Amino acid sequence: MRPAILALLAIGLLGGPLGMGSAGAAAEEIGIATLVKPQVQAFPPGEPSRDLVTRNPIERGLKVKLVGREAFLKIDFTRAFGCKQQTLDGRRVSGVLKILGPSDAELGDAARSCAPKVRFSLGKFLLALLPGEPPIDVDTPETVSGVKGTYVRFLIDPLVGTFVAVDEGVVTVQAKAGGDPVEVEAGQWVVVPPGGLPTRPASLSSLEELEDSPLQLRDFTTERPGPPQ
């Protein structure tokens, strides 16, 4: 009888055959892909990869990889990342993320449902969060940045490091190499080189002198989040 009891416990407690409980759990949707230009590959936690297309849901912990210079992804976040604040309407947009060109990112932490975090490993990103939404930590190879109610642009490059430009609000940038955190205010930018510390915040107008520099990130225009499309 002992093997039969163990089998019943496995089915009853894990929601299916032994070892299948976590795989059967429904993914938590945190947003919608409102514009996708190929090629964008999606890597859902514990599932086969697929091509992401417009109107696909975005699950917490989804990894995305953009291939080619023309690749583009726009995501409307339809709920807060954290658990302390819930939106009254699950369809209300709490923020927008745009990704352009060859890029790698992870949207939330599948293992920590209340962790307000995204990870940018490579590429160009524009993140816009509405005031009042929970702050989000943006993890890059060089930094961890605290973003709240802010329009901020990121460039992640293996040679440059992490470039952060703030169009609205304030972003706190902490280098993984150590040192004190740096507050980057609206109209300022910093660069954290690989293994290094942030540069002193400088005016965004100074980038106009760097005509051919990717740091300008002119590919993006800021826009206030609106109703889901």
Q: pLDDT (tens digit, 9 = 90+) per residue, 117-138?
A: 899 999 999 999 887 777 889 9
- Asked whether residue 35 carries a pLDDT value surpassing 90, the answer given is yes
CA distance linking residue 126 with residue 141, whole number of Å: 17
Dist. CA 80–CA 160, nearest whole Å: 31
Confidence category of residue 43, pLDDT binned at 50, 70, 90: very high
In this structure, which amino acid lies at residue 155? L
Cα within 13 Å of Cα(70), Cβ side:
3
Query: Mean pLDDT over residues 75-80, rounded?
Result: 81
CB-hemisphere CA count at 13 Å for 184?
34
What pLDDT is attached to residue 130? 82
Structure tokens at 203: 């005016």
What pLDDT is recorded for position 218? Answer: 53
Q: How far is it between the farthest Cα atoms of the chain?
A: 79
Residues in the chain: 229
What pTM does this model have?
A: 0.79
Say whether 220 sits in a helix, a strand or coil. coil
pLDDT over 90 (residue 107): yes
Q: Is the pLDDT of residue 24 over 50?
A: no
Q: Give residue 53's pLDDT.
A: 96
- On average, the pLDDT of the chain sits at 80
Pairing outcome for strands 136-139 and 117-129: parallel
Distance separating alpha carbons of residues 15 and 44, to the nearest angstrom = 21
The separation between CA 21 and the C-alpha centre of its own chain, rounded to angstroms, equals: 27
Helices (H), the chain: 2-14
49, 59, 72, 74 from 40: Cα distances, Å: 11, 15, 8, 11
